[in-house]
Chain A
Amino acid sequence: MDTKTHSLSLANPAPQNMNAMQKLSVAIGLTGLFIFALALFNVQLLFKTAWLYVAIIFILAGILIYSLSTYKKLPPGIQNNGVYFKSISAKGVWGWATGIVLTLLYVFLYWFPQYLGMGKEGNNNTGLVGFFDPLSYFLNGHAASQWFVYGVLYTMAIVGFGFKFLLKYRHNKYQQVRTISVMFFQLGFAFLIPEILTKLNPTIPYFSKDVKNMWPLNYYFFEDWHLKAMLEGGNLGMFILLFGLAMIFIISPVLTYFYGKRWYCSWVCGCGGLAETAGDPFRHLSSKKLNAWKFERWSIHTVLVLIVLTTIAVLYTFLGDPANKTWITKDEFTIGVVIFLSVVIAVIFIFKRKQLDKDVKYTLAALGIIVVGSILINFLSGQKNILFIDSNQLRSWYGFAIGAAFSGVIGVGFYPLMGSRVWCRFGCPMAAILGLQQKLFSRFRITTNGGQCISCGNCSTYCEMGIDVRAYAQKGENIVRSSCVGCGICAAVCPRGVLKLENGDEKDRFNPQAILIEKDKITLAG
């Protein structure tokens, strides 16, 4: 029953005979991509602007027609037939090829944008980046950058494959509303609004205008250049700064309390948005092994420590620079951070010490390390020199290793090999913070429906975060896990109606409601 058996079978277990409309749609979509390729290699096209829009429309139309011709003829329901037989979704040749192409795309985006046509030192753009200039001028009034190209492609992917997902799950209203939400936040908040705001405010320096892209996912929010840009950015800059702070300290904790981290991770976030749409065909590839969970705890908390300490170091340097007029001194800032985090840790120990599973303990340890680190920074650092390392260097290393290599290259490039949530699961420091709150201070849980589980494994297999959902469901236990992003697919693919995402009273979140005898709390190893 493994893949070897299949490769020996005489007939392909998943006959891939595409219908005429599917073939047509693939042809249209690839034509659009081909036009991009021509631009990349600087083929001079007449009516260049028109070709740009033709390419964009062709790609979107290709996805649309493909989705319609694939799902519309099937009765509404779970459409996972052949997922493990298809090359693209079962780590076959197409899967690997896609992974490599995506990875290379990220390598060029981050480190060699000139080969995509990004004009250096004031030179005009050429190639693919130059191809996008007209759209960029139209939207934000500037020439395109590689990040503008990336933003357009990213938004197209979420909107196009979001439409596909809507059709695939047209029987499931939760999935429909959630998907419309990620499409809306990407198209509006992440793409159109920031571009248009840039056009309307041509004189102010650049800063992120995507209000939902909050720290620490947006790791440069507190970097000196970004802070300065916001402070010099007039009302808009001040709004973004204050809203960004409100997101971190008020909006996010409140929403996470009522709805769990899903309000962000699978309804709003751009990384999540791509994972849930373009990444959906790869969600089952996340590892469910216990070892993967162990690695996850280490990696995600390492990133959390790194980003918070880097941010503290950068702010520390910023506050210590007499050129910056600020409200607080660097000593006050350090003391503030230490007190704040110490209070958080103390509150958790006092009120939640009975619920400290390993995930939470690791997060607490990470916060503890941050407290110690902040103190060390205060005593052992000079002005620009943080713990004997230049703070600029520290953040540029974070930007390289985490911001680019981890979240981009591995996070998306490895979709077809490690699943769609590699970054969210192993790296995202936001996810670590929201996860701590979801585990300890939230009304969210996945309820297990009494004794109805048949241990089939669909829930675990299709969990993009690699949670072994079945391990809880078959014991009749609710699922309350830090890493759950609340996408709801486990509940959707369950053939027996066993799982339900719910918000409810905190006190019976964990209660096993097993109808079977298994009521004693003794658990087995593993």
Chain B
Amino acid sequence: MNKLKRNVELLQGNEACVKGAILSGVRFFAGYPITPSSEIAEGMARLLPQIGGKFVQMEDEIASIAAVIGASIAGFKSLTATSGPGFSLKQENLGFAIISEIPCVIVNAQRGGPSTGLPTKPSQGDMMQARWGTHGDHSIIALAPSTVNEVLTLTIKAVNFSEKYRTPVILLLDEVIAHMREKVEIPAPEEVEVINRKKPTVPPEEYFPFKPDQNGIPPMANFGEGYRYHITGLIHNQKGLPTSNPQEIDSFIRRINNKIQENVKDIIIYEKYFLDDAKIALIACGSVARAAERTVKLAREEGLKVGLLKLLTIWPFPSEEVNRLAQQVDLIIVPEMNLGQMVLEVERASRGNCEVVSYSRVDGELINPIEILGKIQEEIKK
């Protein structure tokens, strides 16, 4: 018998994000409310002050991520939440967090865009913005849950990855997942794996703030604990000071990319449904994966060998897994609530080993299982 106390609650995706954040140790939130993410700010405002955390409603989204970066430097695990318009505003400081290697989590509850777009309707239009929204060569981690339970577990993962790899992590929700309510089994705090950033073991006078350890990640001293150092958005040397030395520049850029690329096995999470004997594979994420799961059942009832690869990690993209799948199946269909963003990565990763087609919907409604089945039947007839 499991003696740990677990509560089962009917929670909204956004509420599960709050629970997950707090369980993983987040104690600082700065944000500017925006549909469909506002309940995250509301929940944080309610809960953080009760547990010694801080909630700040900022004047805008730029300031919000700036405050989150600052709080993280001071040692607080920090998170902000927004939607498309706010995510666009955060891109510059997202780059700052990447180059200065500050752990933090940015939740983007995707709604229809561009611009103000469709405030209350779902979309997956920010898949590529999550990857390339900020400029310059960089790696990023982005996770996309498709159940409310996964919102909780992936929020914890996101915070843990940010601490482990000293990098901002993006949690990509969509309006359906953000607002949907489902039963969630809330883990007891003692069963949650919590990863904390590695701190320096040397005294302040011997500390090089950007000198990587054997894993390519520099131990991070919190400001205010006696370690005085410089943080800049300029490319910097191991002391944290700007550098124009080509060797230092090259090794720095490669290191902040490699620390993620070389750990894809740890970071990439996916689930397989009925793929063992599949001839046709669906690749989907977020709320669309829920539709695709049903499509697989409907297709199997018709005797069609269809399976699903559900992606929980979007970035870094699970290229190796998709490539293996492409060698097994004849056709991959990528249903998504955009005009075809993830399908580009699937095509790249498939390397021509099978046919790859896109199924798009951009009218603000969730793709339904019947239309994906229709697409499968249409492709079979060709």
Partners in one complex: no
Which residues on B are within 8 Å of A, measured CB to CB? none
Which residues on A are within 8 Å of B, measured CB to CB? none
